Chains A and B, each alone.
Chain A
Amino acid sequence: MAYSDKVIDHAENPRNVGTLDKDDPSVGTGLVGAPACGDVMRLQIKVSDDGVIEDAKFKTFGCGSAIASSSLATEWIKGKKVEEAEALKNVDIVNELNLPPVKIHCSVLAEDAIKSAIADYRAKQAAKR
């Protein structure tokens, strides 16, 4: 299968690989996928007091397209408001990376990872109050 240049670029030079402190109340963690399915994404966001995602990190077990999808996702949501990040759709990733049909689930997983990280962040904030 031929990969698009953008997939290769993100897979070879992934942006924002890393780990944020999951116990930090300003950090939301999303862990989606399953090892048996061949892809697991963990995406984390650190949100400032005014609701801006000031940092995002990921780690992904999966194919090149899965790595590229999560790398792109972190790049896009950094500096965005939580609500804006939440509006991100998997088709945006598909279009940007030129993902073929068999790889669309990678983009779905990235969208899920963002939503799951935001949900975790909100749950933590709610618990604080």
Chain B
Amino acid sequence: MAIKLPIFMDYHSTTPVDPRVIEEMLPYFNEKFGNAASRSHAFGWTAEEAVDYARERIGKLINAQSEKEIVFTSGATESNNVAIKGVAEFYKDKGNHIITSVIEHKAVLDTCKRLEKEGYVVTYLGVGKDGRVDPDDVKKALTDKTILVSIMLANNEIGTVQPIEEIGKLTRERGVLLHSDAVQGVGKVPFDVQQMNVDLASITAHKMYGPKGVGALYVRRSKPRVRLVAQMDGGGHERGMRSGTLNVPGIVGFGKAAEIMMNEGKEEGVRLLAMRERLRKKLQSSLEEVFVNGSLEHRLPGNLNVSFAFVEGEAMMMAIKDVAVSSGSACTSASLEPSYVLRALGVGDELAHSSIRFGLGRYTTDEEIDYVSDLVIDKVKHLRNMSPLYEMYKDGIDLKSVQWVAH
């Protein structure tokens, strides 16, 4: 079968909208264009009904008790902001301490940093080499002042899945709220807000084959009832938690995408895992010094984050330009710093510079996996042949013993 180029293997960044989702969205752009907040006519009622149906579908995916627990936002960045700032503000008389991890998304980390400037105290937990938070560390960090723990379900770079259920037991025992940025993991790995005692969860449509620009925040309504201070003032939409006219077509698409995930996510995960392992095994059996970053066991099925030692990530991406992937290399970031997530694993900056993230998804094929692995193997060999580090390694020189002249 002929391969169509370019190949998209960056499903952690975003996903294409599933045609079934588009189909369901279309009528809501013109035919059924009403404002879901219009209570006085049929246009509004139709829109509201569609929005509530989406709430139900999304609620089911994460096992919410009521569709009223789903608050729509513009995306996960907003959800994370509202969850953390909203809770911090509401519970400020109860305490001022928040616990999170160093590998969270910037939408969580930078929100926490802002709160620190306002006088809150934030503990940033480290992770092990496996890229996971140790629940014991959470336990040790909890104080009488702790109001919120925010730990992601799955990491966006290395795909490691966090022990949310264990953490949820601890937070529930201590009466501390648990927020989880569940963007990357929902529908792909088990996530059940009841079983895991999650009180707030951020999710977004475009990581699960829905449209961009629409997200949700799960806010528990009972045992405990979570309160938060709205961060967007206006018409009091979404039970006062998030003002702003709802993106009805987007929300309809989000609902359909959630339903598909609910019905097909598990099966899809099995298929993706098999392809991921095929890719990994091909790369590791044909090339030396290829390292998987983070736990292989506790990992999103579609994620493979590997470092090809002695080869720089951006040069690698340039060499395989017909394949869309991403890298933790400094050269790919505006800050010229290598990935903070990879650094947190303690793998060493040189391996962070050499990392490539392959993200597999719904439309990835076996043929693409074979094409990509052959191409990558060829290009890594080519780049290693022009790498002074590889030559030194081959000559038996310990690269750590060399006195480098940093610039």
Q: How far is the CA of A97 from the CA of B359 in the complex (A)?
A: 32
Check A59 against B391 for contact (C-beta < 8 Å). yes
Assess A34 versus B389: contact at CB under 8 Å? Given A39-B312, A63-B331.
no
Interface flag for A11 (CB, 8 Å): yes
Assess A64 versus B407: contact at CB under 8 Å? Given A19-B391, A35-B350.
no
Check A60 against B388 for contact (C-beta < 8 Å). yes
B86 to chain A, nearest CB (A): 36
Q: How far is the CA of A11 from the CA of B399 in the complex (A)?
A: 25
Q: How far is the CA of A12 from the CA of B310 in the complex (A)?
A: 18
Q: Which residues of B contact A (CB under 8 A)?
A: 310-315, 318-319, 329-331, 334, 336, 338, 348-350, 353, 385-391, 399, 404-407
Which of B311, B318, B349 is most buried by chain A, counting CB atoms within 10 A of its CB? B318
Residues of B within 8 A of A109 (CB): 407
Assess A33 versus B405: contact at CB under 8 Å? Given A38-B312, A63-B315.
yes
Partner pick for A35 among B386, B389, B407, CB 8 A cutoff: B389
Selected A-B contacts with CB under 8 Å, 7 pairs = A33-B404, A34-B404, A42-B388, A61-B310, A61-B390, A63-B318, A65-B331
Assess A112 versus B349: contact at CB under 8 Å? Given A19-B391, A61-B311.
no
Check B386 against A59 for contact (C-beta < 8 Å). yes
Check A64 against B386 for contact (C-beta < 8 Å). no
Check B387 against A32 for contact (C-beta < 8 Å). no
Residues of B within 8 A of A34 (CB): 404-407
Known pairs A34-B406, A38-B312, A67-B386. 15 more at Cβ < 8 A? A11-B318, A12-B319, A34-B404, A34-B405, A40-B389, A58-B386, A59-B388, A60-B387, A61-B310, A61-B389, A63-B314, A63-B329, A63-B331, A66-B312, A102-B334
Q: How far is the CA of A59 from the CA of B57 in the complex (A)?
A: 56
Residues of B within 8 A of A33 (CB): 404-407
Q: How far is the CA of A58 from the CA of B334 in the complex (A)?
A: 27
Residues of A within 8 A of B389 (CB): 35, 40, 61
Assess A63 versus B312: contact at CB under 8 Å? Given A32-B407, A38-B329.
yes
Residues of A within 8 A of B329 (CB): 38, 63
Interface flag for A3 (CB, 8 Å): yes
Check B407 against A40 for contact (C-beta < 8 Å). no
B83 to chain A, nearest CB (A): 33
Residues 1-31 of chain A: 1 if any B CB is under 8 Å from the residue's CB, otherwise 0? 0010000100110100101000000000001
The chain A residue with its CB closest to the CB of B400 is A35
Q: How far is the CA of A31 from the CA of B399 in the complex (A)?
A: 13
Interface flag for A127 (CB, 8 Å): no
B309 to chain A, nearest CB (A): 9
